[in-house]
């Protein structure tokens, strides 16, 4: 059979081939997992100081190559420069944050029910963590999966998205230069074949990507009885109350709709204006979206994504939707779509109910807060919801009653703090949270140990 080649092109310049590598195939994945399993014992036995130092050196390496890495992110996945630089800085911070984790307590001591002895719990790594990543945060997501998994003593096999192959291979080079043994941190490029093989062989699986693929990954890992977490797509809402400061709220919404061309799982795709907020918000948001330029939006990842987005807008318009802003493909090279705001999208149209992963949002009107919350909750894809208001009562009600995994008051729905748990509710996520302490818990299993005096009856 001829070898399959993975190619990754520059979304702003489709003639620019960033990388082409041969697909390694399922057997290569199994072999890599085998080598990782053999190397994991020494990595764990090396101790907290050695693991902490290696993770710290990885943070240093990312920082030392920051401009080059940001340029590679811009070139390979089309992220605007400022966001790419921000992602690199965050990646270094994530590795540095988890570099402290090897020293953290790994269990708790308990009293015996009766008599002498020692009861304690101890969290232990699973072995090989199989990490499957999307392309949209090509350094940060591999980092927030790999760093905690390694900190607690797992070996890691990372399968990046094909569209982010060059970024992942560069990360592997930096890891080697930071002294992370190759079999402890392996990057294996590939697509569905390699991803499925990894799910079939790893001891713990962490997946981030689209809902359909994620559900199959969860099923396969669960069938094998290995722990799995899946962070999936979102259909994120922004609620704007009449008491909000409309101009700054519109600025936040434009950033959350069109920032990195809406290709964030936390991007806003539904704007819900409550009561009297509707008219002023519509006007301010149309203006704010028109002001968005390449430094904020950028291209979408490939021609297929662009055609899917423009096709969805056309079919929504045919079904009665009204375009308030954007809606066209600019006449230029690269896979660009204008930041777009629609209204009157029929409820049964896919744009109203599915994640499209582009700079497109639908504007809805709600009579009051109750209706807005009901609308926001009327989706299985509940990842992040923003609420724009000056009222503490509304903010508290939203934090109580919104289904989302993240509620952000007077901030864009997109935005993540790496030291807090991260993930969606309902269909937007499965299993334990990522990031913060939650990730360290996910990559370990608790063992209960009872130590009684020798010779006790």
Question: Which parts of this chain interact with ligand NAD (CB under 6 A)?
Answer: 132-136, 159-162, 191-192, 195-196, 199, 208-210, 213, 216-217, 231-234, 265, 355, 357, 383, 424
CB 446 within 8 A of CB 122: yes
265 is catalytic: yes
Would you call 367 exposed, middle or buried from its count of C-beta atoms within 10 A (0-12, 13-18, 19+)? Answer: exposed
How would you label 90-121 residue by residue, b for 16+ Cβ within 10 Å and e otherwise?
bbbbbbbbbbebbeeebeeeeeeeeeeeeeee
- Residue 409 is encoded by which pair of tokens? 């008051």
Between 102 and 189, whose beta carbon lies closer to ligand NAD?
189
Q: Number of C-alpha atoms within 13 angstroms, CB side, residue 195?
A: 19
Closest approach, Cβ 436 to ligand NAD, in A, equals: 13
Question: Which is the catalytic residue, given 87, 163, 194, 231?
Answer: 231
Nearest-CB residue for ligand NAD: 195
CB 161 within 8 A of CB 135: yes
Between 153 and 234, whose beta carbon lies closer to ligand NAD?
234
Closest approach, Cβ 106 to ligand NAD, in A, equals: 26
Closest approach, Cβ 92 to ligand NAD, in A, equals: 19
Between 209 and 334, whose beta carbon lies closer to ligand NAD?
209
Between 69 and 300, whose beta carbon lies closer to ligand NAD?
300
Closest approach, Cβ 283 to ligand NAD, in A, equals: 30
Closest approach, Cβ 338 to ligand NAD, in A, equals: 21
Between 154 and 165, whose beta carbon lies closer to ligand NAD?
165
Q: What are phi and psi of 72, to 5 degrees?
A: -70, -40
CB 385 within 8 A of CB 406: yes
Closest approach, Cβ 219 to ligand NAD, in A, equals: 10
Between 106 and 208, whose beta carbon lies closer to ligand NAD?
208
Between 88 and 383, whose beta carbon lies closer to ligand NAD?
383
Neighbours of 448 (CB within 10 A): 10
Between 178 and 217, whose beta carbon lies closer to ligand NAD?
217
Single out the residue of 134, 123, 136, 126 nearest to residue 158, CA to CA: 134
Closest approach, Cβ 224 to ligand NAD, in A, equals: 13
Between 154 and 266, whose beta carbon lies closer to ligand NAD?
266
Query: Which residue in the block uniquely carries the two structure tokens 């240093």?
Result: 60
E strand or H helix at 16, and its extent?
A: strand 13-22
Would you call 171 exposed, middle or buried from its count of C-beta atoms within 10 A (0-12, 13-18, 19+)? Answer: buried
Q: Identify the bridge partners of residue 323 per DSSP, sorted by sequence position.
A: 342
Cα dihedral angle (212, 218, 220, 221), rounded to 10 degrees?
A: 150
- Residue 181 is encoded by which pair of tokens? 């043994």
Closest approach, Cβ 355 to ligand NAD, in A, equals: 6
CB 269 within 8 A of CB 262: yes
Query: Which residue in the block uniquely carries the two structure tokens 């199959």?
Result: 216
Question: Which is the catalytic residue, given 87, 265, 297, 355?
Answer: 265
Neighbours of 65 (CB within 10 A): 18
Query: Which residue in the block uniquely carries the two structure tokens 């390496």?
Result: 61
Q: Which contacts qualify for 327-330: CB closer than 8 Å, 24 or more apart?
A: none
**SS3 at position 200:** helix
CB 232 within 8 A of CB 429: yes
Single out the residue of 255, 249, 157 nearest to residue 207, CA to CA: 157
Active site residues: 231, 265
């Amino acid at each position: 059979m001829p070898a399959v080649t993975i190619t990754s092109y520059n979304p702003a310049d489709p003639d620019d081939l960033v990388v082409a590598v041969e697909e390694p195939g399922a057997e290569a994945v199994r072999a890599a997992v085998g080598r990782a399993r053999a190397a994991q014992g020494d990595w764990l036995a090396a101790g907290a100081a050695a693991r902490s130092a290696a993770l710290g050196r990885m943070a240093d390496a990312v920082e030392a190559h920051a401009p080059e890495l940001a340029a590679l992110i811009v070139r390979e996945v089309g992220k605007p420069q400022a966001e790419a630089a921000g992602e690199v800085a965050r990646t270094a911070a994530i590795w540095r944050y988890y570099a402290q984790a090897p020293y953290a307590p790994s269990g708790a001591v308990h009293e015996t029910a009766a008599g002498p002895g020692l009861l304690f719990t101890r969290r232990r790594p699973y072995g090989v963590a199989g990490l499957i990543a999307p392309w949209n945060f090509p350094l940060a997501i591999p980092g927030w999966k790999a760093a905690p998994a390694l900190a607690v003593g797992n070996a890691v096999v990372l399968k990046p998205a094909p569209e982010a192959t060059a970024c992942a291979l560069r990360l592997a080079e930096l890891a080697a230069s930071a002294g992370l043994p190759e079999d402890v941190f392996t990057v294996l490029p590939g697509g569905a074949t390699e991803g499925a093989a990894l799910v079939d062989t790893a001891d713990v699986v962490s997946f981030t990507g689209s809902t359909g693929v994620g559900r199959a990954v969860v099923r396969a890992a669960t069938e094998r009885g290995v722990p799995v977490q899946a962070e999936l797509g979102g259909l994120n809402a922004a609620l704007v109350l009449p008491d909000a400061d409309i101009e700054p709220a519109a600025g936040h919404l434009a950033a959350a709709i069109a920032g990195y061309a809406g290709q964030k799982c936390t991007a806003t795709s539904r704007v819900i204006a409550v009561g009297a907020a509707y008219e002023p918000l519509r006007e301010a948001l149309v203006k704010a979206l028109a002001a968005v330029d390449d430094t904020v939006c950028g291209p979408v990842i490939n021609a297929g994504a662009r055609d899917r987005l423009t096709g969805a807008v056309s079919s929504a318009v045919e079904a009665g939707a009204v375009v308030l802003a954007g809606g066209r493909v600019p006449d230029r090279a690269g896979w660009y779509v204008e930041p777009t705001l629609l209204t009157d999208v029929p409820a049964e149209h896919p744009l109203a109910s599915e994640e499209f992963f582009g700079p497109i949002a639908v504007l809805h009107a709600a009579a009051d807060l109750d209706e807005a919350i009901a609308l926001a909750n009327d989706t299985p894809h509940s990842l992040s919801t923003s609420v724009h208001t000056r009222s503490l009562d509304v903010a508290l009600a939203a934090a109580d009653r919104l289904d989302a995994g993240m509620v952000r008051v007077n901030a864009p729905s997109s935005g993540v703090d790496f030291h807090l748990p991260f993930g969606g509710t309902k269909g937007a996520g499965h299993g334990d949270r990522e990031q913060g302490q939650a990730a360290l818990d996910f990559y370990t299993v608790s063992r209960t140990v009872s130590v009684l005096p020798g010779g006790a009856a």
